[in-house]
Amino acid sequence: MMLSPRLFHKILGFTLFLLPCYAQDCLPLNNNEMEGVVRQLEHRISQLEGVLRLKDMVTGSGGKIFATNGKKADYDTTLKTCKEAGGSIATPRNPRENDAILHFVKNFNTYAYLGMKESLIPGKFQILDGNKLSYTNWHSNEPSGKGEEACVEMYTDGTWNDKACNKNRLIVCQF
Ligand code: MMA
Ligand code: CA
């Protein structure tokens, strides 16, 4: 229901590719049959999204899907876990995305690391592709680490704190 068109097309393309000889003798599907397949897939995807929401594993925010496995890990392990799942660490780029991540932080009552790191200039942070932050939500008087706190965590009110990277925080990924 909240899937972005891009992701939907990825899933759709992949699934159709895998459909093994749907019609007898591997004939291509006609328009009607194709529409039926699309309807079935849409239905299945929204069922699965419903299950994941019910289990509080995904929150939508328009385009991006944020997801958690409910586990905790340090920053490097979080990066690895998200990458292995085919995503990346949650990186809020606007208030709506920040809220979507906050949903998990609140419900699991656990801070989460975000996809930002301190740059070579102490106290200046950037997103992981090296670009500077276009959106920030620092807690008052943060960042405070002055080169000693290279990672960023989200508090249970949604504000950010620069923090050492070796703590255990809720794993939240984006897809
Ligand atoms: C801790 C640590 C810092 C944070 C301050 C805020 C004492 O250090 O979490 O990252 O800035 O608390 O008081
Ligand atoms: Ca700090």
Mark whether 45 and 65 lie in a shared domain: no
What average pLDDT does the segment 20-25 reach? 57
Q: Is the CB of 161 inside a 6 Å radius of any atom of ligand 1? A: yes
Contacts for 158 with CB less than 8 Å, ≥ 6 apart: 98, 99, 102, 105, 137
Mean pLDDT of the chain: 91
- The answer on 123 and 147 residing in a single domain is yes
Same domain, 20 and 69: no
Same domain, residue pair 19 and 102: no
Cβ pair 175, 7 in contact under 8 A: yes
Nearest CA to ligand 1 atom 10: 163
Q: Is the CB of 111 under 6 A from ligand 1?
A: no
Q: Is 65 found in the same domain as 43?
A: no
Ligand 1 centroid to residue 37 C-alpha, Å: 53
| Beta carbon of 118 within 6 Å of any ligand 1 atom | no
User: Is there an atom of ligand 1 within 6 Å of 163 CB?
Assistant: yes
Residues 65 and 108 in one domain: yes
17 and 49 in a single domain? The answer is: yes
Are 69 and 26 in a shared domain?
no
For residue 164, give the ligand nearest its CA. 1
Q: pLDDT > 70: what percent of the chain?
A: 85
H-state helical runs in the chain = 5-18, 31-54, 75-84, 95-107
pTM: 0.83
Confidence of residue 63 (pLDDT cuts 50, 70, 90): confident
Q: Which domain covers residue 87, as residue numbers?
A: 59-174
CATH of the domain at 70: 3.10.100.10
Residues 72 and 23 in one domain: no
Do 49 and 63 lie in one domain? The reply is no
